[in-house]
């Protein structure tokens, strides 16, 4: 092999990829977990839970199963409220803790267990969200999908109805897909 | 800008030098490498205040993640994603599998052969390892062979991920999954979002062009259509034959086509490949492999707790050997069709039940040798009716039991049952222990039945203990101990080997793999596999290395714009067919790839250090079946997507 060709190719690389380096495309892009945390916060704001007698006193428990990075990002929402209740982020380690959640997030890769968690909830008013396609099929109410560098979500209305949760029209309008209409 | 330029080009110049001259391993550290810090993030507090409508329009920077297994298999699965295919410059399925724990590829002038747990010599994987393309079983029905190279059905650019599932998958996929399953998931149209054109060239006069259209339309229809053509002049290798001191090998061409259309729960998928190549010892003779399939699949919900999946498929394979004057010819291959239907029910608390049935009609399995005067033909057919069932039972929050099996009944009266059981224990988040055991039976392929009529039915018993440990979110350790025993093992490839039943073949092994992601974007996957395979009172089978090690390291250059991927493959010494040992070898491959706006480019140097080594395949070049591995070679790809 002649050494000139590889050198030429190497230079070609430099021209294609750095000569016109433009930082603008990247400045506005948001890290994935920061965005997912913001979506969860918005989901909570755009969902109506059935009235519960002692609702005013307790915290809004946002439970995360898996994904420590998401928990770290959610820490940035400390001090915020959902339905006038202080937001509390819980890292779920045991199925026994399920019932104290208002929002349950099942992370990518935990789909099989996610399905069992949804089964265990059996219509309890817990908003279930996931970014695992398998947990989505297993009956999560909201499923996050990544589409050409944008975060989108799908809504499963049947699952939400069973749990007596109501989504705002805005949430439904912004969804990529709504199932069970 | 100037800074970024230098950061890019300093290592690139060195890379060019590495390619131009013989590289020393020490130089691989790529000094001068600059990893630029990521741009300062807006905090979640600011992002959460952006109106939701606007938030949806913002692009995200996908976080580095460890790939998670998507198949349910309780064994130690290996995964290669589309991103890794790009980063490490894999050109074929062969390259992908060769980077995986405990696997290695050997080649001959015409085909690639896979070695893994319990199988090693060329052809021994045929009919024992199955390739699934989106669930479709792709091996042909005459040789039972999977095609890994330019003879294979898919361009790797269309692959979303490849999982290798070691151990018997026969309880799910029938007897062709006797020792393992290669599970390939293809991309969707929306992954391309437009028309992508790519061109590639490389050593030995290699040229490849590909045109792909992929789009998801507003009504939900997702279409992926791709065509490609490849041509290479191949290389010269030395042979044992005095009449042919050197021959030209791997001078092949191919044409491929792939179509996938998905709408609602329906998916139509079809692929076709034609690969002609001259026979090394008589370039007038053209040997061609042609593979194709079409399938229609429906996935849907029948009720809240009942899902269904129905799959109709048709496949065809034809091998043809021809000389221009028509003095003789040989064709072989077959056609098959079938329907597979399954139900997934979650009626019972803590149970996920799968019930399925498949009817497969191998309506043509034939060959035809024409000696210039007469045709000598064989033709058979088979029909197989299968039933399978499994139950996934959550015994507790932490313990899961999976049991099931598959019954395959053939129209010749034979019937086999392949059961499997697995316990999955996850005591704490991040720790998973999987203990599995299974038994599978295998019918011979029509080709091996011709070579060894009335063989006893092969049987394998597998046991495996897998430990998966997450050490934080970005570090994963997988350990596996396994024991396989194959009874009535049949070498199903001629060319110097005895055709007939052997056995038992006992394999014991231990494997370990570590994956880690650093916060600066550096990714590492490294593994070591130890295997000990014996046949009582006989020498061990050929091409079974005791030691196999892999290392895959990738790192960003010039911010996120470029990425370097280094792959190292070590294969220990193993027996050749003459009873001698072929020494082990270490081969390194380096790829630098980058994406900028709609452009993509990559430059790969395979066998960077110019290691001289032999692969053990079969006796078509040397009598002891040593086939010279490829010397240092390069490959350059450039692509553009019109959105």
B47 vs A23: CB contact, 8 Å cut-off?
no
Beta carbons of B60 and A16 less than 8 Å apart: no
Greater confidence (B455 vs B378) lies with B378
Which residue, among B48, B73, B392, would best test binding to A if mutated, counting the most A CBs under 10 Å from its CB? Answer: B48
Is the pLDDT at B277 greater than 90? The verdict is: yes
Q: Report the C-alpha dihedral over residues B45, B47, B52, B54, rounded to 10 degrees.
A: 160
Q: What count of residues does chain B have?
A: 643
Q: 10 Å Cβ neighbour count for B599?
A: 13
Q: Quick one: average pLDDT of B243-254? A: 91
Tell me whether residues B48 and A41 touch, CB distance under 8 A: yes
Do the chains contact at A95 and B397, CB–CB below 8 Å?
A: yes
Encoded tokens for B605 = 């140097």
User: Distance, in angstroms, between B334 CA and closest chain A CA?
Assistant: 36
pLDDT the model gives residue B384? 95
Of A51-65, B45-59, B456-470, least confident by mean pLDDT is A51-65
The rounded mean pLDDT for chain B is 87
The closest alpha carbon to B182, from B196, B165, B199, B168, belongs to: B165
Q: What is the ipTM score, two decimals?
A: 0.80
Letter string b/e over residues B194-214, b meaning 16 or more CB atoms within 10 A of that residue's CB = eebebebebbeebebebebbb
> Greatest CA separation found in chain A?
80
Predicted pLDDT at A9 = 61
pLDDT, position A99: 81
More confident residue, B409 or A114: B409
Cβ-defined contact of B52 to A46 (cutoff 8 Å): yes
Q: What would the pLDDT profile of B287-343 be if each residue is shown by its tens digit?
A: 999 999 999 999 988 887 788 999 999 999 999 999 999 899 999 999 999 999 999
Residue of A8, A11, A13 best to disrupt the B interface, most CBs of B under 10 A: A13
- pLDDT for residue A8: 61
Residue with the bigger pLDDT between B472 and B399: it is B399
Using CA atoms, how far apart are residues B258 and B269, in angstroms rounded to an integer?
8
Is the pLDDT assigned to residue B15 strictly greater than 70?
no
Cβ atoms within 10 Å, residue B427: 11
Tokens 């054109």 sit on residue: B197
Q: Which residues on adjacent β-strands are paired with residue B439?
A: B461
* Beta strands per DSSP E along B499-598: 501-502, 505-517, 523-534, 547-557, 562-571, 574-575, 581-582, 585-596
Q: What is the pLDDT of residue A51?
A: 80
pLDDT band at B468 (very low <50, low <70, confident <90, very high): very high
| Residues belonging to chain A | 181
Confidence (pLDDT) at B103: 95
Q: Nearest chain B Cα to A112, which residue?
A: B72
3-state helix/strand/coil string of B547-573:
EEEEEEEEEEECCCCEEEEEEEEEECC
CB contact under 8 Å between A77 and B44, yes or no, is: yes
Query: How big is the A-B interface in CB pairs under 8 Å?
Result: 179
pLDDT greater than 60 at residue A62? yes
Buried b (16+ CB within 10 A) or exposed e, B442-471: bbbbbbbbebbeebeebbbebebbbbbebe
**Do B63 and A31 lie within an 8 Å CB cutoff?**
yes
How many C-beta atoms lie closer than 10 Å to residue B489's C-beta? 25
Q: What is the pLDDT of residue A18?
A: 46
- pLDDT tens, A80-126? 988 888 999 988 877 778 888 999 998 877 767 777 788 888 788 99
Which has more confidence, B577 or B197? B197
Burial track B159-175 (b if 16+ CB lie within 10 A, e otherwise): bbbbbbbbbbbbbbbbb
Residue by residue, what is the 3-state secondary structure of A137-156?
Answer: HCCCCEEEEEECCEEEEEEE
Nearest CA in chain B to A111: B70
CB contact under 8 A, B42 and A34: yes
Judging contacts by C-beta atoms under 8 Å, the chain A residues touching residue B307 are 137
pLDDT of B14 strictly over 70: no
On whether the CB atoms of residues B379 and B353 are closer than 8 A, the answer is: no
Mean pLDDT within B585-592: 97
Alpha helices in B22-139 (DSSP H): 44-49, 52-57, 82-87, 93-98
Q: What are the backbone angles phi and psi of residue A136, rounded to the nearest 5°?
A: -60, -45
- Please tell me which residue of chain B has the smallest CA distance to A139: B304
Distance from CA of A41 to the nearest CA of B (A): 7
Q: Which two tokens stand for residue A64?
A: 């995360």
Confidence of residue A144 (pLDDT cuts 50, 70, 90): very high
A30 neighbourhood in chain B, CB within 8 Å = 41-42, 47, 58-61
pLDDT digit string (tens) for B59-78? Answer: 888 877 777 777 777 889 99
B302: number of Cβ within 10 Å: 11
Chain B residue with minimum CA distance to A16? B596
Taking CA atoms, what residue in B is nearest to A18?
B5
Asked if B258 and B226 count as a contact pair (C-beta separation under 8 A), the reply is yes
Would you tell me which residues 255-314 of chain B have a C-beta closer than 8 angstroms to some C-beta of chain A? 304, 307
For residue B305, the model assigns a pLDDT of 79
Cβ-based burial of B522 (10 A; exposed 0-12, middle 13-18, buried ≥19): middle
Given CB atoms, is B60 within the 8 Å cutoff of chain A?
yes
With beta carbons under 8 A apart, name residues in chain A contacting B304.
158
| Interatomic CA distance for residues B240 and B623, integer angstroms | 7
Say if the Cβ atoms of A3 and B634 lie within 8 Å. no
Residues 573-612 of B with CB under 8 A from A: 592, 594, 596-597, 599, 601, 603, 605
Cis bond before residue B504 (omega within 30° of 0): yes
CA B411, CA B414: separation in Å to the nearest integer? 7
Decide if pLDDT at B30 tops 50: no
Q: Do A34 and B596 touch (CB under 8 A)?
A: no
Q: Do A69 and B63 touch (CB under 8 A)?
A: yes
- Determine the Cα–Cα distance for residues B482 and A87; give it in Å rounded to an integer: 48
**B145 in Cβ contact with B153 (< 8 Å):** no
pLDDT at residue number A4: 60
Is residue B52 less than 8 Å (CB to CB) from chain A? yes
- Cross-chain residue pair A3–B19, CB shorter than 8 Å: yes
Contact B537/A at CB under 8 A: no
Q: What pLDDT sits at residue A21?
A: 42
Residue A76 CB partners (closer than 8 Å, separation 6+): A34, A37, B43, B44, B45, B48
Instruction: Give the pLDDT band of residue B491 (cuts 50, 70, 90).
Output: low
Cβ-Cβ contacts under 8 Å, B68 against chain A: 108-109
Tell me if B588 sits within 8 A of B604, measured CB to CB. Answer: no
pLDDT exceeds 70 at position B509: yes
pLDDT grade for A6, boundaries at 50, 70 and 90: low
Q: How far apart, in whole angstroms, are the C-alpha atoms of residue B172 and residue A44?
A: 41
Whether B63 sits inside 8 A of A94 (CB atoms) is no
**pLDDT band of B501, cuts 50, 70, 90:** low
């Amino acid at each position: 092999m002649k050494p000139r060709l590889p050198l030429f190719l190497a230079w070609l690389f430099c021209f294609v990829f750095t000569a016109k380096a433009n930082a603008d495309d990247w400045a506005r892009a948001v890290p994935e977990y920061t965005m997912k945390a913001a979506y969860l916060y918005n989901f909570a704001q755009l969902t109506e839970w059935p009235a519960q007698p002692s609702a005013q006193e307790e915290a809004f428990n946002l439970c995360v199963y898996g994904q420590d990075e998401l928990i770290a990002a959610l820490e940035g929402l400390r001090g915020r409220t959902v339905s006038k209740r202080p937001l509390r982020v819980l890292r779920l380690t045991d199925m026994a803790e399920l019932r104290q959640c208002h929002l349950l997030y099942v992370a990518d890769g935990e789909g099989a267990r996610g399905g069992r968690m949804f089964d265990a909830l059996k219509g309890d008013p817990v908003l279930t969200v996931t970014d695992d396609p398998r947990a989505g099929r297993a009956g999560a109410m909201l499923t996050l999908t990544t589409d050409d560098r944008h975060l989108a979500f799908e809504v499963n209305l049947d699952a939400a109805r069973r749990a007596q949760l109501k989504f705002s029209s805005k949430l439904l309008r912004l969804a990529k897909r709504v199932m069970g209409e | 800008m100037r800074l970024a330029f230098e950061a890019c080009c300093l290592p690139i110049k060195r890379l060019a030098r590495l390619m131009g001259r013989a590289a020393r391993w020490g130089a691989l550290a790529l000094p001068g490498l600059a990893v630029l810090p990521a741009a300062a993030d807006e905090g979640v507090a600011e992002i959460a205040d952006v109106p939701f409508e606007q938030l949806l329009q913002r692009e995200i920077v996908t976080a580095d993640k460890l790939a998670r297994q998507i198949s349910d298999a309780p064994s130690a699965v290996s995964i290669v994603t589309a991103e890794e295919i790009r980063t490490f410059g894999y050109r074929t399925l062969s390259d992908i599998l060769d980077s995986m724990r405990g696997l290695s590829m050997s080649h001959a002038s015409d085909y690639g052969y896979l070695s893994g747990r319990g199988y090693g010599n060329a052809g021994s994987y045929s009919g024992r390892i199955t390739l699934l393309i989106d669930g479709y079983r792709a091996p042909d029905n005459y040789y039972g062979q999977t095609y890994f190279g330019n003879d294979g059905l898919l361009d790797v650019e269309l692959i979303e991920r490849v999982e290798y599932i070691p151990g018997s998958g026969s309880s799910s996929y029938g007897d062709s999954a006797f020792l393992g399953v290669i599970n390939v998931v293809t991309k969707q149209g929306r992954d391309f979002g437009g028309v992508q054109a790519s061109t590639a060239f490389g050593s030995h006069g290699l040229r490849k062009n590909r045109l792909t259209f992929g789009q998801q339309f507003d009504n939900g229809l997702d279409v992926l259509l791709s065509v490609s053509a490849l041509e290479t002049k191949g290389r010269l290798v030395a042979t044992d034959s005095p009449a042919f001191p050197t021959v030209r090998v791997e001078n092949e061409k191919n044409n491929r086509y792939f179509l996938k259309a998905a709408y609602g729960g329906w998916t139509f998928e079809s692929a076709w490949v034609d690969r002609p190549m001259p026979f090394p010892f008589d370039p007038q003779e053209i040997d061609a492999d042609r593979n194709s399939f079409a399938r229609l699949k429906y996935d849907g919900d029948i009720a809240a707790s009942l899902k269904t999946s129905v799959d109709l498929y048709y496949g065809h394979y034809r091998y043809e050997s021809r000389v221009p004057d028509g003095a003789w010819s040989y064709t072989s291959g077959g056609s098959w069709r079938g329907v597979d239907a399954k139900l997934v029910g979650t009626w019972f608390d803590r149970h996920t039940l799968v019930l399925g049935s498949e009817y497969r009609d191998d309506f043509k399995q034939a060959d035809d040798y024409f000696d210039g005067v007469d045709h000598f033909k064989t033709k058979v057919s088979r029909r197989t009716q299968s039933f399978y069932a499994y139950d996934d039972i959550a015994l507790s929050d932490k313990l899961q039991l999976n049991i099931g099996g598959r019954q395959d009944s053939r129209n010749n009266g034979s019937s086999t049952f392949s059961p499997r059981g697995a316990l999955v224990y996850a005591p704490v988040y991040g720790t998973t222990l999987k203990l599995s055991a299974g038994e599978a039976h295998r019918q011979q392929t029509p080709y091996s039945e011709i070579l060894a009529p009335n063989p006893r039915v092969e049987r394998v018993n597998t046991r495996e203990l897998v430990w998966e440990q997450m050490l934080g979110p970005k570090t994963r350790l997988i350990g596996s101990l396994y024991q396989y025993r194959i009874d009535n093992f049949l070498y199903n490839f001629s060319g110097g080997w005895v055709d007939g039943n052997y056995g038992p073949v006992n394999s014991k092994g231990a494997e370990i793999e570590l994956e880690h992601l650093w916060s600066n974007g550096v990714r590492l996957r490294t593994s070591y596999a130890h295997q000990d395979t014996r046949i009582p009172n006989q020498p061990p089978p050929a091409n079974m290395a005791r030691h196999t090690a892999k290392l895959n390291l990738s790192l960003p250059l010039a911010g996120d714009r470029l990425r370097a991927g280094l792959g190292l493959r070590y294969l220990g010494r193993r027996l050749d067919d003459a009873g001698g040992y072929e020494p082990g070898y270490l081969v390194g491959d380096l790829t630098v790839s980058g994406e900028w706006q709609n452009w993509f480019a990559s430059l790969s140097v395979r066998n960077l250090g110019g290691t001289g080594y032999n692969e053990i395949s079969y006796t078509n070049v040397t009598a002891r079946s040593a086939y010279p591995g490829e010397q240092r070679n390069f490959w350059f790809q450039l692509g553009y997507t019109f959105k």
